[in-house]
Amino acid sequence: MGGVDRLASVTEKLVPVMAAFFLIGGLGVLVVRFQYIPDTFGLIFKYAFRPQAIIGGGFGMAIKTAISQGAKRGLFSNEAGMGSTPHAHALAAVKNPHEQGCVAMVGVCYLFVLFCIVHNFWLELICKN
């Protein structure tokens, strides 16, 4: 069939054509609907600086930060999703691969629970004194 090389050859010719169609189509819409451009920018600036927009942006940023920090801490506490731990588990000499898979899953849970308990004790004992 050709594989990756053929796919790369086709896409390197197809993507610029698709981008050109997209840009020409977008410019065509702007030309046809030119009379709406000033009103559109007016609405953008009118509603962008209202209290609802500012509060919504603040909540959005808070949620984004919480998810980002949680993902970072989860990743660095047990390397889930990094792909380094499966290499170690793949080298284990076990009769049944299912057992090693269960050990890998339980290890993440134990590490996470241990991390949370130690962190909470640290907060209670050290930070409050």
- Spell out a b/e string for 98-115, using b for 16 or more CB atoms within 10 Å of the CB, else e: eebeeebeeeeeeeeeee
Is 84 within the bounds of a domain? no
- Residue 83 pLDDT: 67
Residue 29 within a domain: yes
| Token duo for residue 44 | 């953008």
Question: Could you tell me if residue 6 is inside a domain?
Answer: yes
In a domain, 87, yes or no: no
| pTM check: above 0.75 | no
Residue 3 resides in a domain: yes
Convert the pLDDT of each residue in 37-83 to its tens digit: 999 999 999 999 999 999 999 999 999 999 998 888 777 766 666 66
Could you tell me if residue 55 is inside a domain? no
Separation of alpha carbons 27 and 33, rounded Å: 10
Domain of residue 35, residue span: 1-49
Tell me what pLDDT residue 36 has: 96
Q: How many C-beta neighbours within 10 Å does residue 89 have?
A: 14
**What are the tokens at 57?**
């942006």
Number of domains in the chain: 1
Q: Is residue 36 part of a domain?
A: yes
Is residue 37 one of the residues assigned to a domain?
Answer: yes
- Mean pLDDT, the chain, as a whole number? 85
In one-letter notation, the amino acid at residue 86 is P
